[in-house]
Structure 1
Amino acid sequence: MPKFRFHKLAAVVVLVGFAAWMATGEFSSVGSVAANKAKAEEVEQAKTPGADKPKTAEAEPEAPPRTVAVVTPPRKTYARAIRISGLTEADKRAVLATRVAGVIDKLPVKQGQHVKTGDLVLMLAAELDAAERLAKTGNLPKLQLDTARSNLTSAQSLLETAQAELDRNEVKAPFDGVIDRVPVELGSSIMQGGEVATILKLDPVIARGEVSERDLGYLKLGDKAAVRLVSGQTVEGTVRYISRDASSATRTFRVEVAIPNADGSVPAGMTAEIALSALPTDAVLLPRSVVTLGDKGDLGIRAVGKDNKVVFFPIDLVDDTPTGLVLGGIPADARIIVAGQELVKEGDMVKAVEADQATIQKLLGEAAAGTQ
């Protein structure tokens, strides 16, 4: 009996304890304490900026700007030089011919001889003289000789007509020049229209070439020109003619330079390089090494802008000299890269330092050496 009471008493105690626990409400936290703790940590992290971002490797530091050497070259006025290949030729050229057929009675000129306008180059024998000469050689029957004598008698009665006929037997120089070719011999027979001699006028001698349509606008009549012959001789001349009609094949324009040649030292038909001095322009002198290709394949130079970024300027080649290139189209305040220009591109940030005189002189010296 006492044992039964003890068990009953224990059950009552347990029941009372359970009822008290239920009254406190703590049972709702069972199994969720860890979840609530995790939620509290998330709320705390949300209040801290950047706390929810995963940790990553630290970013690598950016490479320092590349150092380039620059110059701001002095500007000068240069005469634009246009160089073209060409040939020398005579100012005038004429092939002399006879107006009637006959036998050459006088031939007072020879190749290389200088003549004046109106000088006698060739005279045909009068018809009777020629007939007698042919009769003596057996080339003309006596009957025809008698006919020729009769014709001469008739001609003497008509002096003016005869004189005009005699004038037709003469060939005279049409202008001052030099006899270049004489393909006939004294005493030989020649047909009407037969070639007698070739005469050239070599003062002035003409240097002829073709200029591109791009350079045409820089030239005008009267411009000075230097002509270097293949023999090494250099002579001065003046532009006397510029064609206004381009060649359909090459789209180039004929240009003629007149060169004084009183002594005849410059022959016709010689290869020549013609350097035309065109309108002057504002430009700078730089070594050839600074010229590079842009993104579009055009020639130009790279420079550093005010924001220390690389910029590209297309160039206008004014002249090519032994000491460097004369370039136009470059802004006055441009800081031109003379060392390192091939290692950077447009838009790159760079550190620009002024090139020293030794570097500049070295670059110019290399440019001059490259032309020798």
Structure 2
Amino acid sequence: MRLISFINALLVIVALYFLVFERDSLFAFAGRDDADAPAAAEGENPDAAAEDAVRVVAIRSQAREIDSAVLLRGETQANRQVEVLAETTSTVVSEPKRRGAFVESGDLLCELDPGSRPASLAEAMARKLEAESRIPESEARLEEAHALVAEAEINLTAARKLSETGFGSETRRISSEAAMSSAEAGIKSAEAGLEATRAGIEAAAAEVEAAQREINRLTIDAPFRGLLESDTAELGSLMQPGSLCATVIQLDPIKLVGFVPETEVNRVQVGAEASAQLVTGRQVEGRVTFLSRSADETTRTFEVEITVPNADLTIRDGQTATIRIAAEGAKAHLLPQSALTLNNEGQLGVRTVGAGNIVDFAPIRVLRDTAEGVWVGGLAETVDIIVVGQEFVIRGVTVAPTYQEASQ
């Protein structure tokens, strides 16, 4: 049985070889003389030439204006998502809020036991008041030191004049100079005491501020208007710096995040209109608010974000979306996918009917793939495209086209 199958396959291969590569010889063997072909080409027998032409079906396609939108696959993403963490150590004394609850900015999420923190704040405030009470005494000492300097300066001036005229002793002058030096030292000491008092006040104020900040950390509030993605910390649970109180997300507005290929990135502009179809079938519209300037190292694509209103919060985080970003329009032809073919170099294109019904190949670029067909660019304004039989002809072959309506 295997031998018979092998023989049958070999016979089929031989038949295909003669049918494709030795077509003229085969027709001559069958009684059809190809010598008539030159005569037909010279106009001696056009009917015979028409019979030899390959019959194909073509459409006369007219280019139409389309919005050459950039198509992406992406997903929805919360506009903001924050894990609200504790900044101090204490136990939770508030009832927990359950996930899914709506919170406004500033709403209480977790309240912690104050413990001895109020007493620490009162102690720091008392030290600050005590330090502030020393200010008048220090200032009075400074004023007294200045008065002593003024008195010592008068005495020194008088002693110098008396000494110069011979009415005062040299000892008195030296004593007045010593008193002057002592008074100046007293000013420096008073100034140092005043500065020390002021430094004590600043230190006490810093202690008060630290104690107040520690008390403020006992209440953990919502940073913005949104939804709880997780329960808040349970009553009685111990919180430490970095412990999770709750996760809050903001879904209005919501973002659509996709990645643009590097070949299309120049067609996307910040502020451009965009639309998307969610996996649920819902259509949404928004605008491009962000386009990355740096490509992903692995995929060589650029992240793009579209902001979409979501007042009713029905669009959820993480839904798959097909995104269309508006771009400059272009002329294109709507063709059936089956009309596309490859040339010998592997280039994608279509086979067309040119002058004299001679087949030609035209490369194309695919702009959009839809249920009705493929929108392609790179062709002339009007072109005859072979849609049936294009795989059986090559460039330069004469065909006998039958035209059908482009809408078919």
Settle same-fold status: TM greater than 0.5: yes
Determine if the alignment matches structure 1 residue 336 to structure 2 residue 385. yes
| 3-state DSSP of counterpart to 2:386 | strand
Q: Distance in 2 between matches of 1:71 and 1:316?
A: 19
TM-score, normalized by length of structure 2?
0.63
**Distance apart, 1:194 and its partner CA:** 1.1
Which runs of 5 or more residues in structure 2 are unaligned? 1-32, 38-48, 129-204
Among candidates 72, 79, 96, match of residue 91 of structure 1:
79
Alignment of 1:170-319 (within 5 A): 170-182=219-231, 184-319=233-368
| 3-state DSSP of counterpart to 1:217 | helix
The residue number in structure 1 matching 2:123 is 154
Number of equivalent positions: 283
Per the alignment, do residues 167 and 71 of structure 1 end up closer, same or farther by CA in structure 2, a change over 3 Å counting? same
| 3-state DSSP of counterpart to 2:66 | strand
The residue number in structure 2 matching 1:12 is none
Among candidates 73, 91, 104, match of residue 92 of structure 2:
104
**Distance apart, 1:156 and its partner CA:** 5.7
Contact 1:204 1:262 in 2 (8 A): yes
The residue number in structure 1 matching 2:69 is 81
The residue number in structure 2 matching 1:60 is 35
CA RMSD of aligned residues (A): 2.5
Contact 2:341 2:350 in 1 (8 A): yes
**Distance apart, 1:307 and its partner CA:** 4.5
| 3-state DSSP of counterpart to 1:319 | strand
Q: Distance in 1 between matches of 2:34 and 2:62?
A: 45
**Distance apart, 1:196 and its partner CA:** 0.7
Per the alignment, do residues 59 and 326 of structure 1 end up closer, same or farther by CA in structure 2, a change over 3 Å counting? closer
Which runs of 5 or more residues in structure 1 are unaligned? 1-57, 129-147, 363-372
Contact 1:108 1:120 in 2 (8 A): no
Q: Distance in 1 between matches of 2:278 and 2:89?
A: 43
**Distance apart, 1:227 and its partner CA:** 2.2
Contact 1:222 1:238 in 2 (8 A): yes
The residue number in structure 2 matching 1:122 is 110
| 3-state DSSP of counterpart to 2:271 | coil
Going by fraction, where is strand more abundant, 1 or 2?
Answer: 1
Residue by residue over 1:55-87, the C-alpha shift from the partner in whole angstroms, topping out at 9 and shown as x without a partner, is xxx863236322333333222210123332222
Q: Distance in 1 between matches of 2:337 and 2:325?
A: 22
**Distance apart, 1:183 and its partner CA:** 5.1
Residue by residue over 1:213-267, the C-alpha shift from the partner in whole angstroms, topping out at 9 and shown as x without a partner, is 1222222222333322223333223222221211111111112222211111011
TM-score, normalized by length of structure 1?
0.69
Amino acid at match of 1:60: A
Q: Distance in 1 between matches of 2:68 and 2:388?
A: 27
**Distance apart, 1:153 and its partner CA:** 4.6
Q: Distance in 2 between matches of 1:189 and 1:71?
A: 76
Per the alignment, do residues 307 and 149 of structure 1 end up closer, same or farther by CA in structure 2, a change over 3 Å counting? closer
- Share of identical aligned residues, percent? 34
Q: Distance in 2 between matches of 1:298 and 1:116?
A: 58
Contact 1:84 1:273 in 2 (8 A): yes
**Distance apart, 1:182 and its partner CA:** 2.6
Q: Distance in 2 between matches of 1:329 and 1:290?
A: 15
Larger radius of gyration: 1
**Distance apart, 1:106 and its partner CA:** 2.9
Q: Distance in 1 between matches of 2:404 and 2:119?
A: 101
The residue number in structure 1 matching 2:404 is 356
**Distance apart, 1:96 and its partner CA:** 0.7
**Distance apart, 1:149 and its partner CA:** 8.5
**Distance apart, 1:331 and its partner CA:** 0.8
Q: Distance in 1 between matches of 2:122 and 2:275?
A: 63
Q: Distance in 2 between matches of 1:149 and 1:289?
A: 80
Going by fraction, where is helix more abundant, 1 or 2?
Answer: 2
